[in-house]
Amino acid sequence: MLQNNPKAEPYVEPFIQIPRSEKLERTQVDIKDPPRLTRPASGSVFAALVGSSVGLVMLLLVYLGNLYAAYEISLFRAQPPALVCGISAVAPVLGPIIFLALPTRLRGDDYEAQAGTDENLDAAIAAEQAVPMPAAPAKGGRRAATQPVATTAATAAAAGGKTFVRGQFTFNRRFFETQMPGFFGVVRPLADQNTVLTFKTARGTYVVNRISRISPNDIHIQVVKGNASEEITIPFLEIQEVYMTPAEG
């Protein structure tokens, strides 16, 4: 009678015992495998990059970065930018590494030609230091130490100093650091306090008070101008002669 009464079914159903097999059938879940993407065929990394648009963009960015690095290296090593960028375009990554490993090239064809002819700089410096210069006899009174009298090789030799002429010596950073170390300090050593240093250049003649800075291509000197000092930058290529003469006092 209860089975035929649909109104009584909600009240009776909690008390009805359901067999275990029927419970398992009700709670059984139909598991289906999700759709999976097919893996691409295995190959090289370069082929994978070329085979996609994103990979091509990445390769293009790396290539442009290679050319930009080559341009910066050419400026850093003082090499022709067209040469460095051209080789780096043909041999990416390897070209910039080769030029980065090279030493910095000093600019100026004239300087390079003279540097190639003066291969015995050490011997010339040693010979110049070994030969004693004759002392100049004192003549008539005192003159100012900065008086520009030693402006030629003859007057410098007569004053008992040293003369360095372009062609016989190569004017570069090593030359000045070796021959004139006392002029780099703010206070000169006692051995150089009575020495006058004169530069004869294409712009004119300068009596040097101190060498403030020096680079692979030029030298920065301080000269007395009135009651003050002025710093002047002189490229090595413009230096014609350098004189070291004792101050007359």
Number of domains in the chain: 2
Query: Given a cut of 50, is residue 192 above it in pLDDT?
Result: yes
Whether 171 and 240 map to the same domain: the answer is: yes
For residue 157, being part of any structural domain is answered with: yes
- How many residues comprise the chain? 249
Q: Are 73 and 99 in contact (CB under 8 A)?
A: yes
Q: Which helix (H) or strand (E) holds 232?
A: strand 228-235
For residue 196, being part of any structural domain is answered with: yes
* Average pLDDT estimate for 89-93: 91
Residue 98's pLDDT band (boundaries 50, 70, 90)? very high
Domain that includes residue 65, residue range: 45-101
DSSP H helices, 103-161, are 109-117, 121-130, 153-158
Query: Given a cut of 80, is residue 233 above it in pLDDT?
Result: yes
pLDDT of residue 184: 86
For residue 207, being part of any structural domain is answered with: yes
pLDDT of residue 40: 67
Token pair in block for residue 157: 């030799």
For residue 79, being part of any structural domain is answered with: yes
* Average pLDDT estimate for 213-218: 88
Whether 96 and 186 map to the same domain: the answer is: no
Whether 158 and 231 map to the same domain: the answer is: yes
Distances (CA, A) of 114 to 158, 195, 220: 28, 28, 22
d(C-alpha 159, C-alpha 156), whole Å: 5
Whether 238 and 168 map to the same domain: the answer is: yes
Q: Are 229 and 247 in contact (CB under 8 A)?
A: no
d(C-alpha 14, C-alpha 20), whole Å: 15
pTM strictly above 0.75:
no
